[in-house]
A = this chain, B = another copy of it.
Amino acid sequence: MNINNINIDEIILNALREDIGTGDITTIATIPADKSARGKYTAKEAGIICGLEVCGRVFKILDENIEFKTSKKDGDKVEKGEVFAEVSGNARNLLTGERTSINILQRMSGIATLTANFAAQIAGTKAKISDTRKTTPGLRVLEKYAVKTGGGINHRFNLADGILIKDNHITAAGGIKQAVASARANAPHTLKIEVECENLASVREALQAGADIIMLDNMGVKDMREAVNIISGNAIIEASGNMGDLNAQDLLAVAETGVDIISMSTITASAKSLDISLKFVLD
């Protein structure tokens, strides 16, 4: 597995409970208990498939005798109309698990696909598309996995696995220099220190304070280029601020300034579900 059961089983169980409520009454009322069935997953539009392992786990948790098979792996491209997976077993349980499995698959694939689209726009530069913490509450681990599957990279998973000093931290600490020093003194040494900078003066200050990563927040392309010069390889550079709203040309211009990372909430906060259908045949 690329994604650990320990991290996803609780999410899946919550999702199943939410969707099943006190029982799938339509199915119980109309489908015999011993009926079996087979279903095929079809992509209704082209995209990057993501969540196959999670999808298989949904059915395993609901009914350990259901079998989920796929010829694809997370990150593969699917074409419109392509059948990419099959599921078979007890008909009632298949129908009961249908919506949960599709909701997860559509959402993860939607994020992977959108991420891949942005990544393609800056192909050839050294920049990478990164996510943010603007993810759906409760689904972050799945959504960040989808970003990586789509060719992006992951920023912090939570407030504990990265230091990101923003304006309020700087104000409270009395300046960038002091904030970076406090962070270095108080936070685990295993974490890099990132400073959010809104202008070139701040960039210089952060660099001098020894920041490991410098975020260029809402800067113009010209300033970004200058910042790259100033930093000159002495810190990782992250461009940020409505990056997901840029058109392809403008995004490429940002990438071509020489920044290392372009982070955007768009890939998780505004991704459309990839259209996927699951059709059953009762045996």
Contact = CB atoms under 8 A, between A and B. Distances in A.
A35 B172 contact: yes
A161 B14 contact: no
A103 B6 contact: no
B26 A189 contact: no
A39 to B, nearest CB: 9
A185 B104 CA distance: 27
Interface in A9-30: 11, 13-30
A156 B189 CA distance: 9
Interface string A96-112: 10011011101100000
Contacts of A158: 18-22
B133 A183 contact: no
Given A30-B172, A272-B269, A25 B190 contact: no
A137 B28 CA distance: 23
A179 interface: yes
A249 interface: no
A5 interface: yes
Contacts of A155: 188-190
A192 interface: yes
Given A159-B21, A280-B168, A26 B190 contact: no
A262 to B, nearest CB: 12
A201 interface: no
Contact of A190 (B136, B156, B168, B186): B156
A70 interface: no
A162 B137 contact: no
A137 B17 CA distance: 10
Interface in A182-219: 182-183, 185-192, 194, 212-213
A147 to B, nearest CB: 11
30 contacts: A4-B23, A6-B17, A11-B137, A11-B138, A14-B138, A15-B138, A18-B137, A18-B158, A19-B133, A19-B140, A21-B22, A21-B157, A22-B144, A22-B161, A25-B187, A26-B187, A27-B169, A28-B187, A29-B185, A30-B182, A35-B172, A103-B134, A103-B269, A138-B138, A153-B188, A154-B188, A164-B190, A189-B236, A190-B191, A192-B192
* 10 nearest A-B residue pairs (beta carbon): A21-B158, A162-B190, A21-B160, A15-B137, A29-B186, A161-B161, A24-B159, A138-B138, A30-B169, A22-B157
Interface of A: 1-7, 11, 13-33, 35, 37, 62-63, 91-93, 95-96, 99-100, 102-104, 106-107, 130, 133-141, 144, 153-166, 168-173, 179, 182-183, 185-192, 194, 212-213, 236, 260-261, 265, 269-270, 272-273, 280, 282
